[in-house]
Structure formats: structure tokens, C-alpha cells
Amino acid sequence: MFMQEYSVASVMEMGCCGCFGFSFAKKQKKNLRPRVEGGNYVLQGLLVNQEVEEEEEDVEDEESNNNSCCDNITDNEKEDHDHEDFINPAKNSQEILVYRTENGLICREFPVKETHKVVRSEDENGNKMVNEYVRVCKLGSGSYGKVVLYRSQVDGKHYAIKAFHKSHLLKLRVAPSETAMTDVLREVLIMKMLNHPNIVNLVEVINDPDTDHFYMVLEYVEGKWVFEGAGPPGGLGEKVARRYLRDIVSGLIYLHSHNIVHGDIKPDNLLITATGTVKIADFSVSQVFEDENDMLRRSPGTPVFTAPECCLGKSYHGKTADTWAAGVTLYCMIFGQYPFLGDTLQDTYDKIVNNIVFLPEDMNPLLRNLIVGLLCKDPMQRMTLEAVALDPWVMGDDGPIPEYLCWCKRNKLQREESAQSKIDTISHIN
């Protein structure tokens, strides 16, 4: 994994840049540094949002209720949250999502299964079970809970299950009026709407009102994370990077067309299947908008993937910030390193805002133009995803990235065709 090329002594899971009350403003330099213990040893880990191996702890165990299975917000950081300048859209994501759900405005032919009873047991081999799912092994940690591999006794398939404790989520403040539970419920509502080949699918939600347990049953992507053990030393090579980028852009265009901003595009959130398809995962910091007004203030990304405009402490467009993050990801895939990385958070943000991206003179000129367009400091001049889909380097021998005709678009076309057919029939009769 090429991230190891850096002198990152420790790797650690981090939520979002906003968790540190961080804004890029020279006059407030004393407030720019996150209040975390461990000095630069920890800070460098936070920059790239890598994980620290934690003690093996089963999130399903009752005694873990009082533990922080992935509590990455310190008391000082919680204090920063309480004073955070947070701007929501005209209607917050929850209101919009609830309205869409209640009115059937979702992009799924078949709704996500909802289960309101948790039965915890063991199979004949002593393996722990949650309803029909038999525990196989721990996969890792999500934003607020463990991710565990399970096998269904009904269909025999494997699923990645995010397991949470509601009491723990309710204690974690992530914004003045929001807790981690707000983030998780928003993630669930967003994923209930989505259905796209380049987005991880939510299969079932298990939420028993009589227990503290909450589970998200997700499609299991059996392949490796993007970048892990693939491609030549230092990068993945243009062919693989092109294929991956096409999938990323296709998924992002779909999200943006449904007024959803992912907010944390990066390698760790891009899963790759055994057949080489990239799927976008982790919508824990995503936002939904009622219309095209995608203005945000709280910057929910990972520092090295954060757009320049997000570092300035001002409002910014979420979609163009996603596009920048896709550009940083492409740079990582090609060169095996980050375009802007400092020793501290402030140093990294300084470089993102002020430094010119380094590109070798002998690189493919088409690829150079694409990276320059994606990593344009000015969001108004930055390349759009629609332009990326038609970019010569991206098209290669495969042509433009095809537009995905999603379920709600198909329904809309059918309604329009039906309405037109009725009009034509009436006109013919008259």
C-alpha cells in the first residue's frame, strides 16, 4: 500500500476535518491546531485518515456498551464542536430525506429490508449470530462502529455488517445540534435511496427498539481496497487508474444528480470487487440538498483530500469539493503519493491552498491536463465531472463514461411517455 512511503509512524481513524474545529485563517493561527494528544506522531496519522489497530473487541458484546469502540473525538474536540460554525442547507438532510422517503422519491426498485427484532444466538459451531447472520470475522472499523463479516444462513451469501450501540452514538456530539446518531441515521436514509453499480448497496437495517443494538447490513465487496497490493511500485499505472476513475466519476455523477454530496471521497472509501469494479462506500458525512444549492460550511473530508476552498473557513460548494477529492485520488493512483502533505494539519492546509501541484515533465500530456483541471484551486474554474466523463484521457479506447439510467429516471421517462401517449390519443380522437 503506497501510503507507507510517508513517515507516518501511526495510523488512526479520523471522522472529519470539522471535528478539530479547524479553519484556515492566518489571524487565528493559535486555533488552527487540533487539540489531540500524542504530538505529531498522531497528527500525521490524522492527515491521511489511516487506521490504528485497536484491541480486538466485539462490538456485539453487551459489556462493550460502556466502551468507545471507535470514539475518536476527545473532550476538547467535543468542545470545539459546540462552538463550531455550522451551516445547514435551507432544509437539513434529515428533513429532505424523510420527505423523499415518505413520498416514495427513492431511486430503488426494491426497498431496503427493515427488521425491528434482534435475536442474538450461536450456531452449532459456537459462532455468534445476529438473526440469520453468522459471524465470520472482523473486517475493520467504520466511523462510529465495527464492521464485521457475516454469512447469511438464508441465502449463503456474505455481508459486511456495521454494528453500532445507540447509547454510544447518542453521547458523541458532532455538531451543535447533532450527535453521531444523527450521522448514522442520515447515512441509512441516504443509502435507502441509492441504487447504482458503483455504490455499495444497503441490504437491510436491523433496529430493535427494545435493545441498544443497531445494524446496517451491506453488500460485501470481496476485493481489496483500491491501492492495496495492485499495480507497479509507486502507483497503479494509467490503465488501472483510468478504469477506477471512470467508476468513481460514474458514481459521483449519479450522487450529484440526486443532490447528494459524498463529502469524503478517498481510497479508504473506494472498495474494489474481485472483477475490478469500484464501489463508493461510507456515507457517514454525506449531505443531501433540496435543490441545486449545495453550499456548506462544515468541511467533512479527510485533510489531504480537502479542497482549497474548504480550508478557508468560508462556505463552499459540496459538489466541487467532491470533484477535487476525486482529483487527489487520481493523483494518488498515478503517483503513489499525495499531492499536498505536510507534517501537521496546518502545514497540509497551507500547501493545499498555496502550493502548485507537482507533475513530472515527461508524463502523458492528456493525463497532465486532466489532473491540472481537477486540482484547479478555483472551484469556479475546476473541471466538472461531466467534462471528466468526456475527457480524452478518461475515454481512452472505451469512449465517454456512459450515463446510468437509474430507477427514478426510468420511472420519469415512463410517466412522460404515458402522458404524451394520452395527449396523442386525445388529439387523434378530436
Residue 96 and residue 92: Cα distance in Å, rounded? 6
**Which cell numbers in the block locate residue 83?**
462552538
Residue 383 and residue 221: Cα distance in Å, rounded? 30
Task: Give the helix, strand, coil percentages of the chain, each rounded to 5.
Answer: 40, 15, 45
Which residues are CB-contacts of 430 (< 8 A; sequence separation ≥ 6)?
none
Grouping H, G, I as helix, E, B as strand and the rest as coil, residue 202 is strand
Residues marked active site are found at 264
Nearest CA to 206 out of 124, 133, 146 is that of: 133
**Which cell numbers in the block locate residue 242?**
483510468
Query: Is 138 annotated as belonging to a binding site?
Result: no
Nearest CA to 203 out of 150, 246, 166 is that of: 150
**Up-side HSE of residue 227: CA atoms within 13 Å toward CB?**
22
Residue 32 and residue 354: Cα distance in Å, rounded? 16
Residue 221 and residue 269: Cα distance in Å, rounded? 12
Write the single-letter amino acid at 218. L
Which residues are CB-contacts of 192 (< 8 A; sequence separation ≥ 6)?
101, 106, 108, 111, 112, 202, 205
Cα separations (Å) of 188 from 98, 108, 192, 222, 368? 11, 14, 6, 22, 38
For every residue of 109-144, DSSP letters joined together read SSPPEEE----EEE-TTS-EEETTEEEEEEEEE-SS
Residue where the block lists cell 475527457: 391
| Rg of the chain on CA atoms, in Å | 22
- Distinct helix (H) and strand (E) counts, the chain: 12, 16
Which residues are CB-contacts of 414 (< 8 A; sequence separation ≥ 6)?
none
Q: Residues marked as binding?
A: 162
Q: Residues marked as binding for ATP?
A: 162
